[in-house]
Amino acid sequence: MRLATWNVNSINARLPLVLKWLEVAKPDVLCLQELKCVDEKFPAEEFTKLGYNSAVFGQRTYNGVAILSREASTNIQRGFPDDEEGAHARLIAATIKGVRVVNVYIPNGQFVGSDKYRFKLEWMRRLRRFFDESYETKERVLLCGDFNVAPEERDVHDPALWEGHVLFSKRERAALMNIKDWGFTDAFRLHTEEGGHYSWWDYRQGAFRRNNGLRIDHIWVSEPLAKDCKESWIDKEPRTWERPSDHTPVVARFRI
């Protein structure tokens, strides 16, 4: 089974690229973030034509997450169990081939010290609590998505420049490690030690051309799944296509 995660920055603006990528990469599961549309505007029929089922949790203008899968997914959950009405559409979970797939779009945080930064840290605390209350570490659990945090210096093109800034500040990294401490392993780091591999590049200042990026999109797995993870990579090609998302897909392959 191949699973991928991709922040598309509007599914309708990116539809031609997503369809093209599905046809060449042929993942079994594709987790999407930043749909920027309500459920009714999600182009599910286009994915049906390529053989994918859609589980969607949309929202007007901002956020929105979805899970595409060749096999039908079961037990679809939208948002945290204790979410209030109108809460951000940032989490969708579904079971596929015995794997509990949790797809998240962690808040960006705007800048360190802002209200949105505090919201990000609180959301991350809730995500850790969600795993404590919902799953056992011996189950096959997978957490993926746009985490909006680079875990380590080797995940940042210029750590000195980024130190203390949103996406790489100490409190965000601590909040991220707290989630990881539930029992996750970074699938990408099972297979690659060196730095310089990024999943996001700012649209501005030729950041992609200069490889000024961050590794902020991740696939994390519980212990039983880590044993079955054969490969993980970042597919930079869609970032070179016309009208790209600022993120590119991250992929993992499992012996399932």
Q: Please say whether the beta carbons of 247 and 208 come within 8 A.
A: no
Distance CA 200, CA 131 (A): 26
Which of 52, 105, 117, 198 is catalytic? The answer is 105
Q: Which of 53, 95, 108, 134 binds DNA (CB under 7 A)?
A: 108
Total residues in contact with DNA, by rule CB under 7 A: 19
In the bound state with DNA, the residue whose beta carbon lies nearer, of 75 and 205, is 205
How is residue 239 written in tokens? 């970032």
Pick from 105, 27, 24: nearest CA to 62: 105
Shortest Å, Cβ 235 to DNA: 19
Which of 28, 52, 135, 146 is catalytic? The answer is 146
- In this structure, which amino acid lies at residue 154? R
Please tell me whether residue 204 binds DNA under the rule CB under 7 A. yes
DSSP run (H or E) holding 225: helix 223-226
What mask, x for binding DNA by CB under 7 A, covers residues 222 to 241? --------------------
In the bound state with DNA, the residue whose beta carbon lies nearer, of 222 and 245, is 245
How is residue 1 written in tokens? 């089974």
> Which residues are CB-neighbours of 166 under 8 A, at least 6 positions away?
108, 109, 110, 111, 112, 117, 172
Q: Near DNA by CB under 7 A, which window of 42-50, 70-78, 129-137, 202-210?
A: 202-210
Does residue 146 have an active-site annotation? yes
Shortest Å, Cβ 145 to DNA: 12
Query: Which residues form the catalytic set?
Result: 105, 146
